[in-house]
């Protein structure tokens, strides 16, 4: 009789342990996803701004008379890329630090 009463308690303990393990795996996925996403964002932004700079310098060397306009367009484009990058980085940090 006592063994029959202990069996449901053991099952509940095993189920609670499985739930805790699942929560840990989910938490790892959130941390990994946030960190991986932040890294990809920074790499992509660096590559994009580098390409913009290289193209702008090449264009300025070919047409020095419009160098001012090219430089302005380059700065605006780089600022837009940085803005989107910063927003995406904040989203990743929120996923890292403010999720359950």
Task: Look up the CATH number of the domain holding residue 85.
Answer: 1.20.20.10
In-domain check, residue 86: yes
In-domain check, residue 6: no
Indicate yes or no: pTM above 0.75. no
pLDDT for 97: 83
In-domain check, residue 65: yes
pLDDT for 77: 96
Q: Find the domain containing 60 and state its range.
A: 42-100
What's the CA gap between 36 and 42, in Å, rounded? 10
pLDDT tens per residue, the chain (100 residues)?
A: 555 656 666 666 766 666 666 666 677 888 888 889 889 999 999 999 999 999 999 999 999 999 999 999 999 999 999 999 999 999 888 888 887 5
pLDDT for 60: 95
In-domain check, residue 25: no
State how many domains the chain has.
1
In-domain check, residue 27: no
In-domain check, residue 88: yes
Residues 6+ apart with CB under 8 A from 59: 66, 70
């Amino acid at each position: 009789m006592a063994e029959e009463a202990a069996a449901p308690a053991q099952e509940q303990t095993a189920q609670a342990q499985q739930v805790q393990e699942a929560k840990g795996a989910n938490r790892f996925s959130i941390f990994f996803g946030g960190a991986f996403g932040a890294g990809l964002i920074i790499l992509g932004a660096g590559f994009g701004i580098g390409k913009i700079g290289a193209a702008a310098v090449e264009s300025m060397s070919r047409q020095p008379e419009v160098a001012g306009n090219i430089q302005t367009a380059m700065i605006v484009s780089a600022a837009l890329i940085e803005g989107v990058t910063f927003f995406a980085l904040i989203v990743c940090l929120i996923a890292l630090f403010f999720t359950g």
